[in-house]
Amino acid sequence: MSFQDRVAVVTGAASGIGRQTAEALARAGAAVALVDIDLEGAARAAKEIESAGGSASAHGADLSDVAATRELLRGIARDRGRLDILANIAAIYPRMPTLELTEEHWDRMLDLNLRGVFFACQEAIRLMLPRGSGAIVNIASGAAFFPIAGLAAYAASKAGLIAATRVLALETARTGIRINTVAPGPTETEGIDDIFTEEQRRELADAMAPGRWRVPGEIADAIVYLCSDAARGVHGAVLNVNGGSYMP
């Protein structure tokens, strides 16, 4: 798959799935803007991409700030001359029992995971419409389909994102823009030990056909596929990359 002469924005790109996605797109020829609240981490990742011969830039942003996100996307499109791809990977997922869940926790989760992603999509669509082409991939979660204790707000944000993405895909289907979702199962990313105990991790691994967690590169490969021309007939899909832990 070639992304030569295409411009991609990847959020949450300082580490994990976002970083792997940015690296994969850059290897395939895209000019990649790595966006993360961790600007130092995004800059390190961008530097490594450039050292390997790719084209990358780093940008610090809190995607819950809608006005700043809009301006960032406009600036990237203006500087690069276009915007072809948006991969929305940034998310937070702190675990909290329902009876301890605060309004602040709920609002922060949905502001970033759902509200921020939706309005990033909205702005990207505006920037893509004049060219009549583009691909957007949003990251949901298996938690949108099966319950995991302590993740009520996270699950709500990801289930809402799937529903919103389908509507966006329907509304843009005749414009040349494709919008889809990847729903990872349990994936070995930074900070996962802060969310699940070792016993819980084993139980989740046992629930998957291969008996192991996903690694970030497996999710990145699915995202890159949906961004590519190989997926030109795919609109509004939810691609589950979960090792068979959920088979709808």
Residue-wise pLDDT for 38-63, tens only, equals 999 999 999 999 999 999 999 999 99
Residue range(s) defining the domain that contains residue 197: 7-240
Give 81-101 pLDDT, tens digit per residue.
999 999 999 999 888 999 999
Does 246 reside within a domain?
no
CATH number at residue 189: 3.40.50.720
User: Over 90: is that where the pLDDT of 24 sits?
Assistant: yes
Residues designated as active site: 154
Per-residue confidence (pLDDT) for residue 99, from 0 to 100:
96
Q: Both tokens of residue 8?
A: 């991609």
Does 245 reside within a domain?
no
Give 115-140 pLDDT, tens digit per residue.
999 999 999 999 999 999 999 999 99
List C-alpha distances in Å: 32 to 1, 4, 36, 112, 193. 16, 11, 13, 22, 30
Does 203 reside within a domain?
yes
Per-residue confidence (pLDDT) for residue 214, from 0 to 100:
81
User: Over 80: is that where the pLDDT of 146 sits?
Assistant: yes
- Write out the H or E segment, with its range, that includes residue 179: strand 177-184
Say whether pTM exceeds 0.85: yes
